[in-house]
Amino acid sequence: MSPELTPMSAIDRAWLRMDTPTNPMMISSVLIFDHPLSIPRLKRTLRERLLCYDRFHQRVVSQRGRVYWQDDPLFDIDNHLHRIGLPGNAGMAELQALASDLNSTTLDSRRPLWQIHCIDNLNGNGGALLVRIHHCIADGISLVRVLLSLTDRTPEPRLDRIAPRPDSRRSPRSAARRLSGRLADNAKTAATQARHFLRALRRNPGYPIQLATAAGGITMDLLKLGLAPFEPDTGLKTPLSGRKQVAWAKPLALADVKACAKSLGGSINDVLLCAATGALQRYFLAHGETIPPCGIRVAVPFNLRPRSQPVRELGNQFGLVLVCLPVDVPEPVMCFHQVQENMNRLKRSWQAQVTYSLLDLFGRGPDALERRALDLLSHKASAVLTNVPGPRQPVYLAGSKLVQPMFWVPQTGNIGIGMSIFSYADTVQFGISVDTAIRVNPNEIMSYFRESFETLNQAAQAANQPQLARQAG
């Protein structure tokens, strides 16, 4: 008897079908440690804490036009964990070259869609992991939380923290039991929503009007998304090669970023988006390229999963919003306030929910429709930018201390640049992935990011001096 088939959700199927030769749909990360990891301890940790999630021992199969998850009958963790030693006195440049090469290759579709390379001989006595996971398994925020669940606060692991769930898949009645459970859950959800509606109606007779207003807002955001103009013709938009280059910057001190945000009356996210804007602005100026007069747009994932919700079931629960980066505003404080205004406007919109619903709809329709729609949407952004919060304290994996993590999400359609921001242990990490057909040196953008933040921070301190003098007086 063949292993049981579990239907893939429409939204996850949409991400599966986004794979193209130029943009594999992989979420990848580079995790740098203070010393090489013990492979036996790492394997034990993966078995205890990663494989308790079904998706990491299931492969993707297609039957009669439908897509399913199925246990890999030949699953072996050694097919997914590989060891590599960097040559000679290898440093960050060699690690970035290896990460670029692996991020340019696709995962083996005959097996569960993830792979880890354990890298030794980094700077003589360090180590690293390069992790690649397909986007159809889960969204970036969920996968970061899954990877962090592999770690501990001390060098000695506690492998009893996450226990595998009971495996009932071999029961002949498990499929019927799950189907009846889903039907019961759907009925319970419908009843709960009806109660909420009636309760809201009793408390607020104008509630139906509020619902109608929300529906109007959703319709308007859908129209805005569809009618938004294509991105300007810049060096960031060009036919892609499929080869990737990755780089990351030296981390910023989170305390400095917080102080800058406080001085300007904004959020940490506003500061970091402004720094990314300044980095791209400096790129245009350094290469003599005309700066688009209305800025450029980046696609930013917007989490729709409650942060307090445990990641027990994987999958994708996020939408995308198009954020305008005002690269045409040279003065850093003015640029910051423009970024802040753009973000506040998007937070009040329904754009994330609209894009999530569209992806869910595309996942239920024909492949050609999805590709055409995604091709249209990808013309409306020059890059993808993510900002994911991580742990405030250092963590350990298999006894090794994690000193610098970096994550990248994939790009879709003809978008060839992905920028990632990740906070960890009171630092902020910034990284970039660039298609080699785009004439952008990723390390150059990294240096511009730091320069841009320092310029903004100095301007914020200067703007705050009169207020501090008044308080002192």
Ordered structural domains, the chain, with CATH:
5-148 (3.30.559.10), 232-472 (3.30.559.30)
Alpha-carbon distance 302 to 323, whole Å?
11
pLDDT at residue 195 in the model = 54
Distances from the Cα of 59 to the Cα of 4, 14, 109, 371, angstroms: 12, 16, 8, 23
How far out from the chain centre does Cα 402 lie?
Answer: 20
Residue 440's nearest CA partner among 250, 297, 280, 248 is 280
H or E segment and range at residue 354: helix 351-364
Q: How far apart are CA 119 and CA 130, in angstroms?
A: 8
pTM of the model: 0.79
33-60 tens-digit pLDDT: 988 899 999 999 999 999 999 999 999 9
Structure tokens at 243: 């080869």
Question: Using CA atoms, how far apart are residues 220 and 208, in angstroms rounded to an integer?
Answer: 18
DSSP per-residue codes, 390-432: --SS--EETTEEEEEEEEEPPP-TT--EEEEEEEETTEEEEEE
Q: Render the burial of 18-42: b for 16+ CB within 10 Å, e for the rest.
A: bbbebbbbbbbbbbbbeebbbeeeb
Q: Cβ(440)–Cβ(274) under 8 Å?
A: no
Q: What is the pLDDT, as a whole number, of residue 126? A: 82
The per-residue pLDDT for 223 is: 44
* pLDDT value of position 349: 63
Report the C-alpha gap between 115 and 263 in whole angstroms: 43
Q: How many CA atoms lie within 13 A of 236 on its CB side?
A: 28
Task: Give the span between the Cα atoms of 218 and 38, in whole angstroms.
Answer: 51
Query: Six-digit token pair at 263?
Result: 């001085």
Q: For residue 375, give Cα distances in angstroms to 19, 121, 197, 371, 412.
A: 12, 42, 38, 6, 8
User: Which pLDDT value is given to residue 207?
Assistant: 39
What pLDDT shows up at residue 199? 53
DSSP per position, 370-395? HHHHHHHHHTT-SEEEEEEE--SS--
- Residue 177 has a pLDDT of 55
Give me the tens of pLDDT residue by residue for the chain, a chain 473 residues long. Answer: 457 889 988 888 888 888 888 888 888 999 999 888 999 999 999 999 999 999 999 999 998 878 999 999 999 999 999 998 888 778 888 999 999 999 999 999 999 999 999 998 888 778 899 999 998 898 877 888 888 889 999 887 654 444 444 444 444 445 555 455 545 544 554 454 455 445 544 555 553 444 344 344 445 444 444 545 666 788 888 889 999 999 998 899 999 999 999 999 999 999 999 999 999 999 999 998 889 888 888 888 766 666 666 666 777 676 677 888 999 999 999 999 999 998 887 776 655 555 555 555 555 555 555 555 566 666 778 888 888 888 889 999 998 999 999 988 888 778 899 999 999 999 999 999 999 999 889 999 999 999 999 999 999 988 776 555 555 55
Q: What is the largest CA-CA distance in the chain?
A: 82
Nearest to 144 by CA among 319, 321, 386: 386
Question: Which region, left, alpha or beta, applies to residue 411 given φ > 0 means left and ψ of -120 to 50 means alpha?
Answer: beta
